[in-house]
């Protein structure tokens, strides 16, 4: 490799590690296969990498001179393995299950972790197979939480998070051993979830941009992130840093990608430049008892199914061009119950969306509801759009109906604007 490339390798490729947590679950036999999650972000030439990434992995001793395992069993004395695996990288983010034979890795067995000394994960990355693999420094310790590692996952599990008193090195199984960040709790969940898992978030301010992805939930179970439904403002996921608490520096509170069977409940998302909750890529989630405050958008959905219950957004991000309570597009399905949107540019904006709205209030917005290429149904009980410049903007092959007189338009400068190629009924 050219010397200048070596000198710049660290600048070209680096990773932000979310967590490396080993989950040793349900070991009936010593030879049973195990996996653990490895996820983070990669940049190339200073920008988040997007596309197919190529990775090599080895588990090594602390001094790096012993190889205990590698993705193809060819690593010796900490050397680079011959084979590689691929993982899609989306806006810099990737998620890999170490030991996953379904993606071409050699199996990983729990006896690897019976060594007396600490074990570290060594990683090599390449953005293009025409280039050399670069080793990512430093090696990262694999943490095996004693209690969580022994869980059989035969019963539902609760993990605790405490921003003020927690530590991400804790196992999270009690309030006294809580983790400090919600992301760390998410990352210890195994890739295959066979029982319901609750992440119980204690009161505090969590200054993190969460990425929820990489879990397959089976058997009708759920992963629930729960704060305090009686006082959502006591659990704040903030896009601002402590030194400037009113200045957004993060894009989202939650980013949910290709993830199903997740519920977010009882929190406030605040100071997010784009959206408090971003849901994309065939996700299916529920949102209950959440307040969005000083965000450009409360919820943004693309190609996903969302149920929203008791959601409130009455103050958008200061200085944003257009603020919205809900923005849904790209063939999403969205059901909204008992929610309130006020003092925004747009209460709800639907494009290529099928939506059902129940018992929801929109007040004092530039436009109450904007619909394009969408099916919108106002369903009992009563929905209200009031004191807006334009109550309803019905555009471009939309079908909008108010069933059983379930919509009241009052105090708006103009109640409705309709394109010629639309279908409306009931108001």
Q: Indicate whether 379 belongs to any domain.
A: no
**CA pair distance 270, 123, nearest whole angstrom:** 35
On whether both 85 and 193 belong to a single domain, the answer is no
pLDDT greater at residue 421 or residue 5 = 421
Q: Indicate whether 363 belongs to any domain.
A: no
Q: How confident is the model at residue 45 (pLDDT cuts 50, 70, 90)?
A: confident
Q: What is the pLDDT of residues 153-199, one digit of tens each?
A: 457 889 999 999 999 888 788 899 899 999 999 988 877 787 899 99
Average pLDDT of every residue of the chain: 87
Q: Indicate whether 408 belongs to any domain.
A: no
On whether both 170 and 299 belong to a single domain, the answer is yes
On whether both 191 and 136 belong to a single domain, the answer is no
CATH assignment at residue 292:
2.160.20
On whether both 93 and 122 belong to a single domain, the answer is yes
On whether both 120 and 222 belong to a single domain, the answer is no
Q: Indicate whether 276 belongs to any domain.
A: yes
Range of the domain at 64: 3-141
Q: Domain ends where: 119, 141, 163? A: 141
Contact present, 326 and 348 (Cβ < 8 Å): yes
Q: Indicate whether 378 belongs to any domain.
A: no
Q: What is the pLDDT of residues 103-131, one digit of tens each?
A: 999 988 766 766 567 789 999 999 989 88
Bridge-based pairing of strands 305-313 and 375-379 is unpaired
Place of tokens 């319901």: 196
Q: Which of 241-245, 270-274, 379-383 has the highest mean pLDDT?
A: 270-274
Q: Please return the burial class of 91, using the count of CB atoms within 10 Å of its CB with bins 0-12, 13-18 and 19+.
A: middle
The DSSP string of 309-361 is EEEEE--B-TT-SS-EEEEEESSEEEEEES-EEESSSEEEEEESEEEEEES-E
Q: Indicate whether 130 belongs to any domain.
A: yes
All residues at 6 or more sequence positions from 216 whose CB lies less than 8 Å from its CB, including other chains: 191, 192, 193
On whether both 174 and 315 belong to a single domain, the answer is yes
On whether both 106 and 219 belong to a single domain, the answer is no
On whether both 31 and 123 belong to a single domain, the answer is yes
Q: What 3-state DSSP class applies to 187?
A: helix
**CA pair distance 424, 407, nearest whole angstrom:** 12
Q: Domain ends where: 286, 309, 344? A: 344
On whether both 94 and 232 belong to a single domain, the answer is no
Classify residue 101 by its DSSP letter: G
Q: Indicate whether 387 belongs to any domain.
A: no
On whether both 214 and 254 belong to a single domain, the answer is yes
On whether both 311 and 218 belong to a single domain, the answer is yes
Q: Domain ends where: 141, 174, 200? A: 141
Q: Which pair of structure tokens corresponds to residue 287?
A: 């949102």
* % residues pLDDT > 70 (the chain): 88
* Number of structural domains the chain divides into: 2
* % residues pLDDT > 90 (the chain): 65
CATH assignment at residue 63:
2.60.40
Q: Which pair of structure tokens corresponds to residue 239?
A: 């896009």
Rounded to an integer, the average pLDDT of 51-68 is: 92
On whether both 211 and 336 belong to a single domain, the answer is yes
The pLDDT value recorded for residue 233 is 98
Q: Indicate whether 127 belongs to any domain.
A: yes
- For the chain, helix (H) and strand (E) counts, in that order, are 3, 36
The predicted model scores a pTM of 0.69
Element (H, E) at 386: strand 383-386
Q: What 3-state DSSP class applies to 149?
A: helix
Q: What is the pLDDT of residues 293-342, one digit of tens each?
A: 999 999 999 999 999 999 999 999 999 999 999 999 999 999 999 999 99
């Amino acid at each position: 490799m050219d010397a200048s490339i070596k000198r710049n390798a660290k600048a070209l490729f680096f990773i932000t590690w979310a967590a490396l947590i080993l989950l040793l679950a349900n070991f009936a036999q010593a030879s049973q296969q195990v996996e653990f999650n490895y996820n983070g972000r990669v940049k190339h030439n200073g920008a988040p990498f997007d596309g197919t990434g190529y990775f090599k992995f080895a588990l090594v001793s602390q001094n790096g001179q012993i190889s205990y395992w590698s993705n193809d069993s060819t690593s010796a004395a900490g050397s680079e393995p011959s084979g590689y695996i691929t993982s899609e990288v989306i806006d810099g983010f990737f998620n890999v299950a170490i030991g996953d034979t379904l993606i071409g890795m050699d199996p990983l067995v729990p006896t690897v972790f019976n060594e007396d000394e600490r074990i570290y994960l060594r990683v090599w990355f390449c953005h293009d197979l025409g280039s050399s693999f670069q080793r990512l420094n430093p090696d990262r310790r694999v943490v095996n939480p004693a209690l969580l590692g022994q869980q059989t996952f035969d019963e539902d599990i609760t993990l605790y998070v405490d921003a003020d008193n927690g530590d991400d090195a804790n196992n999270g199984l009690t309030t006294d051993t809580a983790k400090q960040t919600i992301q760390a709790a998410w990352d210890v969940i195994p890739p295959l979830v066979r029982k319901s898992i609750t992440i119980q978030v204690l009161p505090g301010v969590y200054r993190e941009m969460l990425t929820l992805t990489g879990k397959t939930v089976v058997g009708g179970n759920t992963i629930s992130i729960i704060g305090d439904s009686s006082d959502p403002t006591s659990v704040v996921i903030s896009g601002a840093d402590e030194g400037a608490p009113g200045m957004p520096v993060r894009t989202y509170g939650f980013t949910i990608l290709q993830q199903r069977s997740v519920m977010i409940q009882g929190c406030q998302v605040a100071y997010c430049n784009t959206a408090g909750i971003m849901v994309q890529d065939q996700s299916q989630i529920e949102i209950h008892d959440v307040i969005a405050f000083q965000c450009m958008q409360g919820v943004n959905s693309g190609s996903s199914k969302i149920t929203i219950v008791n959601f409130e957004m009455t103050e958008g991000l200061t200085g944003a061009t257009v603020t919205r309570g809900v923005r849904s597009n790209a063939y999403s399905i969205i059901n909204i119950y008992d929610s309130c949107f006020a003092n925004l540019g747009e209460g709800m904006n639907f494009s290529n969306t099928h939506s059902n709205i129940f018992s929801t209030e929109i007040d004092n917005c530039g436009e109450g509801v904007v619909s394009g290429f969408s099916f919108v149904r106002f369903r009992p009980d009563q929905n209200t759009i009031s004191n807006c410049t334009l109550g309803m903007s019905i555009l471009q092959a939309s079908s909008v109906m108010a069933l059983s007189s379930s919509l009241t338009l009052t105090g708006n400068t103009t109640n409705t604007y309709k394109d010629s190629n639309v279908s409306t009924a009931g108001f």
